[in-house]
Amino acid sequence: MEKITADTNVLVSGLVYRRGKPFELIRMALEGEISLAISQPIIDEALEVLARKFGITQEELPAYEAVLRQAARTVTPSVSLQVVKADPDDNKILECAVSAGSDYIVSGDKACCAWAAMTRSASLTSRTSSMW
């Protein structure tokens, strides 16, 4: 089974729009077709983005968090990385991928190829992957 770490934007897109490849990623994780890894910092960022950009209320956020926790295994990062200079918040994705031993990083971010090289993971963009 492929081990995957997805960036926050992919997870949020899957939760909010409930269609397309980001949603398919979450569906596959929920159905046990892939092993999705997340960390508490990724969960925290996803919830913050849901509230700030999509108006999800504090009362609604626990339901979104529950889906993330059901779909993915929560990893406690065993490394602290400061390698993504352009967007330091993206280091949390790398830290999770390295700590989880992920095979893939799924991202719509152009820096994902650089992340993959650093983690020895292959990269799949949410726009171009035919994996799911």
Q: What is the 3-state secondary structure (H, E, C) of 5-51?
A: EECHHHHHHHHHHCCHHHHHHHHHHHCCCCEEEECHHHHHHHHHHHH
Model confidence pLDDT, tens digit, residues 87-127: 657 778 888 988 999 888 888 766 555 555 555 544 444 44
Residue type, 108: G
Give the separation between CA 61 and CA 119, rounded to whole angstroms: 31
Output the pTM of the full model: 0.82
Residues 6+ apart with CB under 8 A from 100: 3, 5, 37, 73, 75
The CATH homologous superfamily to which domain 3-125 belongs is 5'-nuclease (3.40.50.1010)
In this model, does residue 132 exceed pLDDT 80? no
